[in-house]
Amino acid sequence: MGAIDVRPVTAESWEAFARLFEAKGGPHFCWCTTYRVAARRDLTTSEKKACMRELVRAGTPVGVMAFKGDEPVGWCSVAPRETYVRLERSRTMPRVTPVSSPTWTVLCLFVPRPHRGERIGHALLAGAVAYARDKGAAVLEGYPFDTAGVSSTHRGHSRIFRAGGFQRDGKRWFVRLRA
């Protein structure tokens, strides 16, 4: 099982990101725009891809990818809560931190089927924590599918969050990154 390197998605890593999303079984149907775009249902797949590409090109934090060598083997959507525009009115995932507290949110963990069982999800979440901390987040939160009552299994499982040092607060799991 080779070493896993987790790093942020940037304009320089866009091709690897696109390769991961467009591979068989990849999340090419949503391009992780579900919560980032208000009118997401009206967008075609190519428009979703273009939207994500523009966010990356503009330097907006969108997440981290796991690599084994040059091969992308996982994705974690982690970004400032405010960049997920559809969370603003979410009753399932309401904001519990003050607006003045820099809060980041994990909304997706994806590992292609051939790489599942290799602890890549754990590495992705650890990389998400490091990335959010490096960017000044005070709190990182997530909503695993098994505790948040969300049907999407791409949210990750609570055992990954627990192993990553997160604490449970109702449906929300969180870790404080600074006081």
The domain of 140 spans 5-176
Say which CATH number the domain at 144 has. Answer: 3.40.630.30
pLDDT digits (tens, 9 = 90+) for 106-140: 999 999 999 999 999 999 999 999 999 999 999 99
Give pLDDT, residue 92: 86
- Residue keyed to tokens 């090419």: 28
What is the tens place of the pLDDT at every residue in 69-87?
A: 999 999 999 999 999 999 9
* Domain count within the chain: 1
Report CA-CA distances (Å) from 49 to 19, 29, 46, 56, 166.
12, 9, 5, 11, 31
Q: Which two tokens stand for residue 163?
A: 């192993």
| Residues 132 and 140: beta-carbon distance below 8 Å | yes
Query: What pLDDT, on a 0 to 100 scale, did the predictor assign at position 152?
Result: 62
Beta bridge pairs of residue 109: 76
The residue among 131, 156, 16, 120 whose CA lies nearest residue 72 is 16
Q: Which segments of the chain does DSSP mark as H helices, in order? A: 14-22, 45-57, 120-134, 145-148, 158-163
